[in-house]
């Protein structure tokens, strides 16, 4: 019997719109510039270190060192990165529905304190959840099995009684290896249907 639903946050409970953010920050920019900035930020797991709890300036320096000729543009990204995140109107109602059906609701998210402080308003749904784990607090990031073990230990979970929802296949697969049931979020309609079907079949 399923007792707990565990949600990722970015691109599950809120929107993370990197492409739209870059278009707004650098309107009409040459594709080569955008590609270079993307690679500097995301290449070789540099940004992941922020989610893992490393000091922001240390992470930013590693990114700038990769593309020092674009320090000005990269600093602009760092300053305004909170604008990548937007509320999802569907989230509060979805969480309230699952709560009303008797499920414990948790989050397990790769998220940094730096980004939280840049846009705290998008997390205003957190009181609807019963707790969770942010990667920056445990200095681990998905899909490392140890972060799943952290939430299991913290909330005394039985993995076979939990459903985990994430937008990234690698994180879903890692959850399954730990023993969670897991669903990949592709669209809101799809995940609602998949979750409801699974919960009905499990009863």
The DSSP result for 176-201, as a single string, is HHHT-EEEE-S-HHHHHHHHHHHHHH
Q: What is the mean pLDDT of residues 139-151?
A: 98
| pLDDT of 198 above 90 | yes
Domains of the chain by range and CATH? 4-15+87-202 (3.40.50.1000), 16-84 (no CATH)
Phi, psi of 153 (to 5 degrees): -70, -40
In this prediction, residue 202 has a pLDDT band, given cuts at 50, 70 and 90, of confident
Q: What CA–CA distance (Å, rounded) separates 118 from 61?
A: 19
- How buried is 85 (Cβ within 10 angstroms: 0-12 exposed, 13-18 middle, 19+ buried)? buried
pLDDT reported for residue 55: 97
What pLDDT, on the 0 to 100 scale, is given for residue 57?
95
Render pLDDT for 13-64 as a digit per residue (tens, 0 to 9).
Answer: 999 999 999 999 999 999 999 999 999 999 989 999 999 999 999 999 999 9
Whole-angstrom distance, CA of residue 35 vs CA of residue 147: 31
Dihedral, CA atoms, 52, 55, 60, 63, nearest 10 degrees? -50
The pLDDT tens digits for 72-127 are 999 999 999 999 999 999 999 999 999 999 999 999 999 999 999 999 999 999 99
pLDDT for 35 equals 96
Distance CA 65, CA 178 (A): 37
pLDDT value, residue 146? 98
Return the residue matching tokens 């709560």: 99
Question: Has residue 203 got a pLDDT over 80?
Answer: no
Q: Do 115 and 136 contact (CB within 8 A), yes or no?
A: no
Q: Distance (Å, rounded) from C-alpha 10 to C-alpha 124?
A: 14
Distance from C-alpha of 97 to C-alpha of 43, rounded to nearest angstrom = 38
């Amino acid at each position: 019997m399923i007792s707990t639903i565990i949600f990722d946050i970015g691109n599950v409970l809120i929107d993370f719109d990197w492409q739209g953010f870059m278009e707004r920050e650098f309107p009409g920019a040459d594709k080569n510039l955008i590609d270079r900035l993307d690679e500097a930020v995301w290449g070789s797991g540099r940004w992941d270190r922020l989610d893992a709890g490393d000091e922001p300036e240390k992470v930013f320096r590693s990114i700038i060192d990769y593309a020092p000729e674009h320090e000005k543009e990269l600093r602009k990204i760092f300053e305004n990165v909170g604008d990548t995140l937007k509320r999802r109107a569907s989230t509060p109602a979805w969480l309230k529905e699952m709560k009303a059906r008797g499920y414990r609701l948790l989050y397990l998210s790769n998220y940094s304190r730096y980004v939280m402080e840049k846009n705290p308003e998008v997390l205003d749904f957190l009181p609807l959840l019963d707790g969770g784990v942010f990667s920056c607090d445990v200095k681990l990031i998905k899909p490392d099995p140890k972060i799943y073990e952290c939430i299991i230990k913290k909330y005394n979970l039985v993995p076979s009684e939990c459903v985990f929802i994430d937008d990234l296949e690698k994180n879903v697969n890692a959850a399954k290896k730990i023993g969670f049931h897991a669903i990949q979020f592709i669209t809101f309609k799809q995940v609602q249907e998949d979750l409801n079907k699974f919960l009905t079949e499990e009863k």
